[in-house]
Structure 1
Amino acid sequence: MAKVAFLGLGVMGFPMAGHLAAKGHEVTVYNRTPAKAEAWVARHGGRAAATPAAAAEGADFVMACVGNDDDLRAVCLGDEGAFAGMGQDAIFVDHTTVSAKVTRELAAVAAPMGLGFVDAPVSGGQAGAENGVLTVMCGGSEADYAAAEPVIAAYAKACRRMGETGAGQLTKMCNQIAIAGLVQGLSEALHFAEKAGLPISDVVEAISQGAAGSWQMSNRYKTMEAGTFDFGFAVDWMRKDLGICLATADETGASLPVTALVDQFYKEVQAMGGSRWDTSSLIARLRKLN
């Protein structure tokens, strides 16, 4: 069992840290809002720390799941940042979805300090975190990944090293690009069925058995039909992720016309008051247009 610090106790981090404790790891948590850290300790045991540096002291692994590039820099750097508290050979594992640029930047700071660094964004949403069945895509050295993978296994159903530093984040971008186009296509199919007077459940039963089938179709069509969008990954966070994808595409020369279009559709959903709706809310935009 390892000594682990977990930084960031949002809808993903709170249950992920809980799985670590349940597996017998010695867990110290930090959250920008201390009440959340106190609530976690009340439920799972362990202890809370006042700063990322204090949480990281003596830890073999420091896991982070925060908001964006700037949030990640804030918990890593400075006198109160995690790097300042980590000892030689400790490994920082970042589960935040951020740019590959900030990942490489922070890994370059960690290396001369004798710290390992693994970028390890996750897919599976809140339900995946709560049930301990996330998919984790990792970048970093083979040695750092091999050391971190058994700890990550506490909340992962699948974990894979994709390459050197930044490869995990680039793979997560592929994931978000694929989801964006898929959810828009599913929204249009269900909207079309509604307009054509077809029973959606029957349509999904028929087409989900063939090439059109997907996780999104099986798990979201009922809530999409009902117009309830309070389950899953929020539109605000999806737009943050798609912004990273589009910026990286500009850097690499990749063409992402559908992703750019769907990003604008999500912008329209935000204007409808759907910032905290889940990503399947694209269908609400279509219903509003008609």
Structure 2
Amino acid sequence: MRRRSLAALGQRTLWVGPAGTGSRLKLVLNAWLAFEIEAAAEASALAERLGVPYAVLADAVVGGPLASATALAKLAKMESGDYSADFSLEWALKDLDLALAASHAETTPVVMAIAERWRRLVAQGHGHSDISAARLGLDARGEGSATSTTA
């Protein structure tokens, strides 16, 4: 009965261990998501700075080892400037802060760096924007100066 009820809530149910393990796994997976989003944001900014058109970048990624449905979707949002929230920056930052609190700085230096940058974006008013707003501030316009659309 419990498995059928859970199956109705999502595509997949993963049993990971004793109580609390699933919550900890969620923090790990959301940290991984942050890595992916920040990588897409920085690669997009670098491509722009080097004169590589978005279409060329996206085409190079699609079908290759770097292709991720999430990264490609967020890359498209970054390119269009559509930061309407699917997963807000403030909620992603909350999970990064929880991961940092549960770990040691030497274990998660990249999580710490991303959290610090995203914290600045949230302080600038982009907390309700999608995590693709991580792209803001990575160009000549300055941190957070691009307009954002929130849900």
TM-score when normalising by structure 1: 0.46
Aligned to 1:268: 120
Aligned residue-pair number:
142
Aligned to 2:49: 195
Higher relative contact order (CA 8 A, sep 6+): 2
Q: Distance in 2 between matches of 1:257 and 1:208?
A: 29
Aligned to 2:9: 155
Aligned to 2:135: 283
Aligned to 1:243: 97
TM-score when normalising by structure 2: 0.86
Is 2:43 the counterpart of 1:174?
no
Q: Which has the larger radius of gyration?
A: 1
Identity %: 23
Structure 1 alignment gaps of length 5 or more: 1-146
Aligned to 1:232: 86
Q: Distance in 2 between matches of 1:202 and 1:262?
A: 26
Could you tell me which amino acid in structure 1 is paired with residue 65 of structure 2?
A
**CA RMSD after TM alignment:** 1.8
- Structure with the higher fraction of residues in strand conformation: 1
Displacement, 1:208?
A: 2.6
Displacement, 1:234?
A: 0.8
Q: Distance in 1 between matches of 2:20 and 2:88?
A: 24
Q: Deviations over 1:167-219 (max 9, x none)?
A: 10111011011011111111011111111222212211112322221122221
8 Å Cα contact 1:265/1:285 also seen in 2? no
- Structure with the higher fraction of residues in helix conformation: 2
Q: Structure 2 vs 1, CA of residues 254 and 170 (structure 1 numbering), >3 Å: closer, same or farther?
A: farther
Q: Deviations over 1:105-150 (max 9, x none)?
A: xxxxxxxxxxxxxxxxxxxxxxxxxxxxxxxxxxxxxxxxxx4221
8 Å Cα contact 2:85/2:128 also seen in 1? no
Q: Distance in 1 between matches of 2:114 and 2:90?
A: 13
Secondary structure class of the residue paired with 1:286:
coil
Secondary structure class of the residue paired with 2:127:
coil
8 Å Cα contact 2:78/2:135 also seen in 1? yes
> Residues 138-153 of structure 1 correspond to what in structure 2 (within 5 A)?
147-153=1-7
